Each structure stands twice: as C-alpha cells, then as structure tokens.
Structure 1
Amino acid sequence: MNILVLHGPNLNLLGTREPAIYGTMTLEEINARLQAWAAERGIALRIVQSNHEGALIDAIHEARPWAHGILINPGALHIYGYALRDALAAVNLPTVEVHLSNTQAREEWRRTSVIAPVCRGVVLGFGWRSYLLGLEGLAALLQEAGVP
C-alpha cells in the first residue's frame, strides 16, 4: 500500500507557529510518527510539504501511477485552493483531508473547505493526531477495497 502525504503552506513552521493553536510538535516529528506507524503495517509513504499550490498539484500528478491514496493537510488552501481540489478530483485517488485545529470552531472564513467535497473523509481538531487518525482511516478504506 502506497500513500502520498501532503502538507500545505506554513506547515513547515509547526512547533513554533502559533503553538496555542497548532501545538509544539514539529513537522519532522509528525512525519516520523507517521512513518513509524506506516512501517509497522508495511505501508509506504511519500511525504511532501510545500508553500506553493502548484508544487502540491505536481506531487499529486506524479503520485498517480504509484499511490493508492492521499492524506492531505492543505492548510489555508482548503479555503480557496480550487486548482488543488481539481487535481485531487482528476487523479481520483481516495483522499482524506486533515487539519490540526478544529477549523469549524475558528473564524467564519475557515469553516468551508473546497477540498472536502472530493475527499472520502475529513479529520480535524486533534492536533498532530489528526494526521494519524486520517492515515489510519485511509489505510482501512484502502484495505477494504482490496489494496494489499
């Protein structure tokens, strides 16, 4: 089983960026926990972080022949990233959207995701564990679909 993990804009600053909202765990620490969880289950992860929507779209396109699913934290691109949304729809891979904070409990403008409608599920508000919960859910969906 192969899964693409995408981190959007500003997530490279985790650990120091607004820790009251996003926690103190760094992106590298989150990635290490995801890699450890996946390795225990024989799942291969390809992890990409970019502050540029086009680079995330390129990663989605490049993963098409390889990946069975996508785990994405689009950051603020969930609000206005229509090109990112269209790329996810175009490759037609099962996708789970995750967010560290509960975007539904924050500013009104954060409450609508253009990404969610092309995803199998959304996990938000559990800090770094949102990634782990999303990965676990995506792996279960893929396994149920017969992906080894």
Structure 2
Amino acid sequence: MCILQVSAVCVLRSTLTMCVLSVEKDAKRHAVGRVLFPLEGELGQAGRVLWRDLDPEEETQCSELGDVQISLSYSSSLQRLSVVVLRARGLQLVTEADSPALLGVLVLGPFMYARGLQLQHWMDMINKAQEPVKLWHRLGTAI
C-alpha cells in the first residue's frame, strides 16, 4: 500500500510515476521500467487495487525532439561538477507565441530526480571520479 498526500489543486494536473529498479551485487542500479498513474482518474478512488503493465525503460524514453551527447565529470577535491554538451542530432524547434525557442528537456541527477539512463549516467560519473563519462540522451517534452 502506498499513501501519498497531494493537495486537491495539484491532483488533476499530477501523475504518479513508479520506477522499478534492479540492484546488482555491486550496488549499481538499473531501471527496468516504469508505470504511470494519472491522479485524476482511477487512482483517486480509495480502496481500489489498480494493475498496470510495466513499460520497459527503453520505450519510456522515446522522443522525436532529438538527442544530445552529454559529458559528466566530478572532481571531489575541487567539489566541481562539469556538464558539457558535446554533440546534438535531430533537434526539432518547438516554438510558442512570444516564447523563447524550446528544444527539449533533460533531467540528470541522483535517484531523487532522474531515472533510467539519466540516473545511470549520474551513477557512472560518481563511480568514476574525475573521469569524464559520455552518453547520448533523448530530449523530452516540458510538462
């Protein structure tokens, strides 16, 4: 059972994302897949058991906005994180009236913020201190 407290104002615009991780013997975590539950529908009905199929992590990262190759490195002695966009491919320009051009969104970081390849990239950077770790990421849409 999972109990979450969400204000009534936020419920209709929110989605609960549950990520399933596989943890190896060396404590590396790999995202297996995820399930999305929009809070406005069935999830708001108390006492119901909901079933969903797990979406494999590869399918959840589909994007037609393009890809960027990012290099991450962390120097613990300098306490400095370096993030470099090395290359980009297939970028699609999305514009709105009176808005700057939006190319897409990418969230990199620890478990609290990122999942899947984005989380794995972060963990690889932490495990390889002072060594740049390069990886291609697909851009997502802004929510």
Q: TM-score over 0.5 for the alignment?
A: no
Superposition TM-score, scaled by structure 2 size: 0.26
Superposition TM-score, scaled by structure 1 size: 0.25
**For the pair shown, which has the larger CA radius of gyration, 1 or 2?**
2
Higher RCO structure, 1 or 2 (CA under 8 Å, sep 6+):
1
Structure with more of its chain in strand, by fraction: 2
